[in-house]
Amino acid sequence: MGKIIVGIDEAGRGAVIGPLVIAGVALREENEQELKKIGVRDSKELTAKKREKLAEKIQEIVDNILILKVAACRIDDYRKQGVNLNRLEGMKMVEIIDFLGGDKIYVDAFDVDTNRLKRLLEKSLKKEGAQVVSEHFADKKYPAVSAASIIAKVERDKEIEDLKKEYGDIGPGYPANEITMNWLKEWLKTHKDFPPIVRKSWDTINVLKNDHKQSKLSGWFKGLLKTEQECKVKESSEAKK
C-alpha cells in the first residue's frame, strides 16, 4: 500500500456572511493521477455545476473526507477570545490532519509566511513524521488540494442556498458583491442588529454601522433645521400681523 496524502483547502475565508468551510481529502498517492484525469483544479476556475459533478467523482476516488464548518457567530466568538482567523484556520487544519492521518499533507497556505505555517502544523500534529507542504496557490498545483477546494466550495454554496431560503437573496456573502452589500444595508435599516449569519466582528460591518449612524444623525439635523426654519417663518408671519 502506497503513502497516504492529504489535501486541505477552505471556502468562505473572506466572506462577511455565512460559515468558513475547511475540507480535507485523503487518498493513496498512486490514486492522485485519477484526480487529474477527472479534471480537478482550483474551484474558483469552475462553474457551480461543474464543481458539483466533480465533487461526486472525487468522493469515489478518495479514501476519506472531512469537512469542518465554522459559523459566522462562532468566528465572532473566537475573535472575542483573541483567536484571529489565521489561528482559527490553523486549529481546524490540525483537526482535519489528525483525523485523516496521512504521510504527506498539502495545504493552501493562508499565512504570508508559508514556512511558519508548515512549522506550526507539524508541531501541533499528533502523528510524528508527517510531512507538511505549505504553499500559496497550492490549489492550482496539487490535485489533492484542488479536490479539497472543490469539496469546500460546494459545501459552502449549499450553506448559502439554505440561508437564502430563510433570509432572502444575500448574494454569495462577500463584501465585494453588490447584492450582499445591499442586503446588509437594507437589513440594518429595518433591524437594530445583524442576524447570527453575519460576521459582526468584520471591518465591513463596523463601516456599515458607522455609515448608518452618520446617516441617522444627518437626518436628525436636517429635521431639526427644517423645524427651526418653519418656526422662523411662523414667527415672521405673526410679526407682520
Any idea which of 49-63, 89-103, 146-160, 204-218 has the lowest mean pLDDT?
204-218
The pLDDT score that the predictor gives to residue 226 is: 52
pLDDT per position as a tens digit, 10-62: 999 999 999 999 999 999 999 999 999 999 988 888 999 999 999 999 999 99
DSSP3 helix / strand / coil % (the chain, rounded to 5) = 60, 15, 25
Report, as an integer, the average pLDDT of 125-136: 91
Report, as an integer, the average pLDDT of 112-141: 92
The pLDDT score that the predictor gives to residue 29 is: 93
The pLDDT score that the predictor gives to residue 230 is: 52
Could you give the count of Cα atoms lying within 13 Å of 210 in the half-sphere of its Cβ?
6
Question: pTM value?
Answer: 0.87
Stronger pLDDT, 232 or 106, i.e. the higher one: 106
The pLDDT score that the predictor gives to residue 44 is: 85
Exposure class string for 142-156: b at 16+ Cβ within 10 A, else e? bbbbbbbbbbbbbbb
pLDDT per position as a tens digit, 62-86: 999 999 999 999 999 999 999 999 9
Query: Tell me, what DSSP letter sits at residue 136?
Result: T
pLDDT per position as a tens digit, 215-235: 654 554 455 455 545 544 444
Question: What's the CATH class of domain 4-167?
Answer: alpha beta
Strands 4-11 and 20-28: antiparallel
* Residue 195 main-chain phi, psi, to 5 deg: -75, 170
Cα(18)–Cα(171) distance, rounded to whole angstroms? 11
Query: Tell me, what DSSP letter sits at residue 18?
Result: S
Please check whether residue 1 is in contact with residue 28, taking contact to mean a CB–CB distance below 8 angstroms: yes
